[in-house]
Amino acid sequence: MKVCKMCGVAKPREDFNKQSRAKDGLYTYCRPCSSARTKAYKAKMREKGVLRYQRMRQKYGVDAMQYQALTEQQQNKCAICETGLIHAGQTASSACVDHCHTTGKVRGLLCYHCNRALGLFKDSQKSLQSAIDYLRKTS
């Protein structure tokens, strides 16, 4: 048995996650309390917008100032379809950081649909040109 430091309830050792650095090899919080604590922390960070910029910095090397510069440079519009961008949440016009998968270089900000379309075409100029030719032929 072990007492959770958050809820103060004695629980079986199986109710705690493992932690190699702890003396007893277990976290100080039980799984439900640990989960609640993590959710509260993430919600707090999400309110501040910190998580979004942390992910961008880790994934693309873009910090908050660079992201803001891209937004201003593109006049808060998608670089392809020019739809106004939303910078929080998960909507069709949420801003996505577009990058080259080969070099990792950031190309700009796109709306969800344009970013997804490029991904589905595997960033292939030949495939995109074929799609354009097809649309011209069938219009």
Distance set, CA 88 to CA 46, 92, 109 (Å): 9, 11, 13
Q: What is the pLDDT of residues 37-83, one digit of tens each?
A: 999 988 887 776 666 778 888 888 988 889 899 999 999 999 999 99
Map out the domains of the chain as residue ranges: 2-42, 63-138
The pLDDT of residue 43 is 83
pLDDT of residue 76: 94
Rounded-to-integer distance, Cα 16 and Cα 100, Å: 42
CATH superfamily ID and name for 63-138: His-Me finger endonucleases (3.40.1800.10)
What pLDDT does residue 45 have?
76
